[in-house]
C-alpha cells in the first residue's frame, strides 16, 4: 500500500504519465495538443486532491478477490473515489 498526501507527491505525479515507452510518448503527445483520456483525467484529479491536502491511497490488488477486498476496506474507511487500474482499462468502483 502507498499513501500520499503532500504537495511534493502531487508534483511527482504531475511530472510523469505512469507509463513507459511508446505509451508514455503517446500520452505526452496527446496531452500536449490538448487531448485527454480517462486515465489522464483521473491522474489530474488525484494530483488536485493531493494539492488540496487530501489523501490518495494506492493498493496493489493482483486478483479479483484482492480488488474487491481493498475496495470494501476503503469504502468502510470513508473512501469515496475508488478506481481499479488494470493493464488495459480503468474501472470506476465507487
Task: Report how far residue 20's alpha carbon sits from residue 29's, in angstroms, rounded to the nearest whole number.
Answer: 13
Q: Which residue has the cell 470494501?
A: 72
What is the pLDDT at residue 51? 87
Specify whether 65 is located in the same domain as 37. no
Could you tell me the pTM of the whole model? 0.62
Query: Range of 50's domain?
Result: 1-55
Greater model confidence, 59 or 24? 59
Give yes or no for a contact between 25 and 62, defined as CB atoms under 8 angstroms apart. Answer: no
Specify whether 71 is located in the same domain as 94. yes
Give yes or no for a contact between 50 and 6, defined as CB atoms under 8 angstroms apart. Answer: yes
Total count of domains within the chain: 2
pLDDT digits (tens, 9 = 90+) for 38-85: 777 887 888 888 888 888 888 999 999 999 999 999 999 999 889 888
Alpha helix positions (H), the chain: 7-15, 21-32, 38-51, 64-76
Specify whether 5 is located in the same domain as 17. yes
Q: What is the mean pLDDT of residues 9-37?
A: 70
Amino acid at each position: 500500500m502507498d499513501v500520499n498526501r503532500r504537495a511534493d507527491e502531487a508534483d511527482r505525479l504531475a511530472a510523469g504519465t505512469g507509463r513507459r515507452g511508446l505509451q508514455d510518448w503517446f500520452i505526452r503527445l496527446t496531452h500536449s495538443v490538448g487531448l485527454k483520456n480517462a486515465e489522464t483525467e483521473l491522474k489530474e484529479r488525484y494530483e488536485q486532491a493531493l494539492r488540496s491536502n487530501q489523501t490518495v491511497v494506492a493498493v496493489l490488488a493482483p486478483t479479483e478477490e484482492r480488488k474487491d477486498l481493498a475496495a470494501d476496506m476503503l469504502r468502510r474507511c470513508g473512501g469515496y473515489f475508488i478506481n481499479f487500474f488494470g493493464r488495459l482499462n480503468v474501472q470506476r468502483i465507487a
